[in-house]
Amino acid sequence: MVEVGLTHFLVVSSFLFAFGLYAILTRKNAILVLMGIELLLNAANINFVAFSRYGNFGLNGQLMALFVIVLAAAEAAIALAIVLNIYKTFGHVNVDEIDNLKE
Amino acid sequence: MSIYDFIFYLFAAITVGSALLVVSSDNIVRSAFYLLATFFGVSGLYVLLGADFVAVTQIMVYIGGILILLLFGVMLTSNITNVEIKKGMKNLLPAIIGIGILLGAVISMMIDTRWKINVGEIPQTTSYEIGKLLITDYVLIFELLGILLLIALIGAASMARRERSK
Amino acid sequence: MTESSLISLAVTILFLPLVGFIIVLLFGKRYEKLYLVEVGLITVALLLSIFVGFIKLTNYVNDTIITQFTWIDLGNVPSIGHLTINLGIMIDNVTVIMLFVVTLISALVHYFSIAYMAGDKRFSRYFAYLGIFTFSMLGIVIADNLLMIYIFWELVGLSSYLLIGFWYEKKTASDASMKAFLTNRIGDIGMFIGILILFTNYHTFSFAEIFEQISNGVVPFGSNGWLTAAGILIFLGAVGKSAQVPLHVWLPDAMEGPTPVSALIHAATMVAAGVYLVARIFPLLTADAMIVIAVVGAITSIFAASIALTQNDIKKVLAYSTVSQLGYMIMALGVGAYTFAFFHLVTHAFFKGLMFLGSGSVIHSMHHEQDMRNMGGLKKKMPITYITFLIGTLAISGVPLTSGFLSKDGLLAGTWAFGNLTGHYLIPIIGFVVAGMTAFYMFRLVIMTFHGEPRNQHKYDHAHESPKLMTIPLIILASLSIFIFYTPNPAAPADGWFYNWIQTPATVVPEDARFEFMKSDSHRVEGTEINNYGGSGSENAVVTHSEMYENEMHNVHYPAMILSIILAGLGILFAFLMYHWKKISADKLAEKLKPLYNLSYNKWYADEIYSYLFIQRTHDLSRFIAWFDSTIVDGIVNYSATFTRGVANIAGWFDTYIVDGFVNFTAFVNGFAGLALRKMQTGKVQTYIVYVVFSVIIILLIIRPF
């Protein structure tokens, strides 16, 4: 077994990314879709930190990861507000039934 | 297999495994708790990468903040006692095919690419350096993020209230 | 008190009326008392300009304070180099005196207007307009360059348009405002071309820099003729603003505005701007340009005076008298009597402002009656107005002990000296004749208005003395028409401080383009012997060129003074003989000189001539163009229309069968594609994301084939 290096971390993040995408594509509940988005962001974060560590970029990658976390927090707050509005409007939060965009 | 490798595989397993459970679980509350495990695993990976500050932030913000928010969302949008959450799947076949191809492509790319590895010294503690960078090189982004958070706060509050005021 | 703080004070004075304008214009409708803000601000401006003038004239009497800043940086311009357009502020003695005159008259007009305009429905707007007018006039005064003068010059034109046409419901008023605006525009075009000639050659608008380059021998396009042309063209602007012949026609019509406005525009500010401009460009005027200026001024003064003799409208008489006096000042500048021209500008501003306000007081009490034939005997009813008006009349007539006597006398001496030195004797002759005429028509006005028996008993019974707000400005202006404010010796203005403050600026034009008496001392001509009447040194002393003019003025000073007193006395005597004692019947005299009388009464038919020469011709041109339009242009259009119709038929066939066929085919293809694509538009977010994922995969495969 090879020594753990950059590639290992990248593979883990690839898996996280794929699962996040899977959640976004297939789940019907809006909150589960949100969780998928969080997984995507985490995958990206792992890449940032890993490249920062193995590419000798100092702390720049880590700072980017921090900023992404902040953005994720803001995004989660807004998204939940949207979800609540959807709930008030439609009485449910099932994304597959919301197809107003078609009209 | 060194201890470092062992710990890495442990956390990687926690992360990937719980992530799989998040997306495949039938119960939305359960999904949320699996997500907690995923975040925990990711923060472990951060520690392994020498990013202690990011790891702690990950735990505090994701687990302490975002996850709680998601749970609130679950509770506000579904009647807990009368759990009637639509848990079905959609687009199952195209999604699995697409994601399979994508995963294969990405992973093969990750493995095949000859990365320029240039490992620097792992700092003992990063919070001091990060603090310094935040108020020097990154001060503009730092301020902008503060404003963004404020806007998000106000926006979220006003969006959530709108219907009620009618 | 440093120089820079003087500059900032001057800028403050400039912007105070603008602030008042903005405030009153924006909020005047809601708060009726807001006009007091404008009145207060102009009072502050007056006090500040007194202060600035005092500091300047005591501490920096010989300095010219200039501040410049870059307004537009044009960068590197090919074949010129680095080009910037600078604006700046210049404070010299002329500036501070003008600041004082403008703010004083403006402030007094403000006070006067509170009573005069009371009850007008656009009361606060009126004060806003006064504010913008004062602002633009002050801008001209403190500018150090031609561009800034031009900007504020146009602003003055705009604000005078607003003020003259203030009662725009009256057709005559709105017509008069348009006439003033258009007539001024003719002069302004000339002025603009003149400025551009200078800018093209010197790449600067600043007076100081232009003068410096000219004095270094750089003349526009290498020829003195162009310098003369530039001077005369810029003078054209002054012709428009200062109502010189042939652009004088707007000023009498502008009397349609409220009477205090007439005082402001036609006594102290707008018309003075023209004289001020000529004074500013004085150093670059060549001898040829100066002759032109002197002749225009002389013609204007006698022309307007001859009209004023027979007018019956009180404001019309004053208007033509203003034109005549402005001609005097322009003439004086043309003959080189710079100091006295400016002196007369100041004294005239005070006594003419006094007389316009006085006539406003009369008109106010007579319920807007302006015809002198309906007045008479008002001196018993309006003693203060009468006495102050009389002082103003004495001043304009040039009676000793008044300010007008000092300035007019010096001015006439200047023209006489000019006549002696150059042989142009017609100019001083006209000057003296006009002096007599002025005395005559001004006393005719006073006698018809205030003396004798009331001719309209009904209006007379209702007449009353005006309120204090109107009489106090009159008293202030009347006191400023006394000699003591200008010189301790009522017979010799040269002893006064005014003469020391305002020195004739040295001319900068090339030596061969100057008058003999303006050549510089280095060109002293040996053997030019002129008696030195100053009696200070030896007889037959050799005088330099620069002293020639001064000397000559000194020589003719007393003869000129005596002659002007005699002529003024004669004019006054005739006025009394004809209108007070009725020894000579004015009607019979008019009958005898019927053609002359008609010519004067109808203002030399200037309006009719212009109407025939320009307005009718413009109409003819328009008619011709209309004919051209309707027959030739329309003919071409109609022909091409027929042709087009033919082409259209062919094109129509082509359209129906070929183009439409193609279009229909395209539509069919599109419809089919749309049918296929519509299936994809589910309106569900996740479906779209699936498409995105597949697109990304395709891109991945393209950039990195496995």
pLDDT average, residue stretch B15-35 = 87
C 632-691 residues with CB < 8 A to B: 686-687, 690
Residues of C in contact with A29 (CB under 8 A): none
The minimal CB distance from A102 to the residues C681, C689, C690 is found for: C681
Residues of A in contact with B96 (CB under 8 A): 22
Exposure string (b/e) for C199-228, b if CB count within 10 Å is 16 or more?
bebbbbbbbbbbbebbbeeebbeeebebbb
Separation of alpha carbons A56 and B50, rounded Å:
12
Does the beta carbon of B55 lie under 8 angstroms from any beta carbon of chain A?
A: no
Separation of alpha carbons C405 and C394, rounded Å:
9
Residues of C in contact with A99 (CB under 8 A): 682-684
The minimal CB distance from C685 to the residues A21, A26, A95 is found for: A95
Q: Are B19 and A15 inside 8 Å of each other by CB?
A: yes
ipTM topping 0.90: no
Does the beta carbon of A26 lie under 8 angstroms from any beta carbon of chain C?
A: yes
Distances (CA, A) of C700 to A13, B101, B110, C310, C703: 18, 10, 13, 100, 5
Class level of CATH domain A6-90: mainly alpha
Determine the length of chain B: 166
Q: Are B86 and A28 inside 8 Å of each other by CB?
A: yes
pLDDT of the residue at A52 = 87
Separation of alpha carbons C289 and C330, rounded Å:
12
Q: Taking the domains of chain A in order of start, what are their residue ranges?
A: 6-90
Between B and C, how many residue pairs show a Cβ–Cβ distance under 8 A? 27
Does the beta carbon of C693 lie under 8 angstroms from any beta carbon of chain B?
A: yes
CA quadruple B132, B138, B140, B146: dihedral sign = negative
CA quadruple C503, C508, C509, C514: dihedral sign = positive
Residues of A in contact with C682 (CB under 8 A): 99, 102
Residues of C in contact with B99 (CB under 8 A): 693
B83 confidence band (pLDDT: 50, 70, 90): very low
Coil/strand/helix, residue C44? helix
Whether pLDDT at B14 is above 80? yes
Q: Are C706 and B94 inside 8 Å of each other by CB?
A: no
Rounded mean pLDDT of chain B?
82
- Considering only CB atoms, which residues of chain B are within 8 Å of chain C? 90-91, 94-95, 98-99, 101-102, 105-106, 108-109
Who contacts C376 (Cβ-Cβ below 8 Å, separation ≥6)? Answer: C448, C449, C450, C451, C452, C453, C454, C455, C456, C460
pLDDT of the residue at B82 = 46
What is the amino acid identity at position B21? L
CA dihedral C9, C11, C14, C20 (to 10 degrees): -80
pLDDT of the residue at C539 = 38
Tokens matching residue C646: 């033919």
Q: Are C684 and A95 inside 8 Å of each other by CB?
A: yes
Of all residues in chain B, what percent are helix, strand and coil, respectively (each to 5)?
75, 0, 25
Question: C165 with C123: CB under 8 angstroms?
Answer: no
Does the beta carbon of A95 lie under 8 angstroms from any beta carbon of chain C?
A: yes
Tokens matching residue C554: 């000194």
The minimal CB distance from C689 to the residues A25, A96, A98 is found for: A25
Q: Taking Cα atoms as reference points, which of C330, C227, C240 lies closest to residue C276? A: C330
Other Cβ atoms less than 10 A from the Cβ of C544: the count is 15
Q: Which chains touch A (3 or more CB pairs under 8 A)?
A: B, C
Task: Could you list the beta-strand ranges (E) of C236-341.
Answer: none
Residue-wise pLDDT tens digits, B45-82 = 999 888 889 999 999 888 888 888 888 888 877 654 44
Query: Which parts of chain A sit beneath pLDDT 70?
Result: 1, 101-103
Separation of alpha carbons C255 and C460, rounded Å:
23
Query: Which parts of chain C sit beneath pLDDT 70?
Result: 1, 492-495, 516, 518-547, 705-706
Q: Are B46 and A49 inside 8 Å of each other by CB?
A: yes
Residue-wise pLDDT tens digits, B101-111 = 888 888 888 88
pLDDT of the residue at B88 = 58
pLDDT of the residue at C139 = 92
Separation of alpha carbons B38 and B67, rounded Å:
11
pLDDT of the residue at C195 = 92
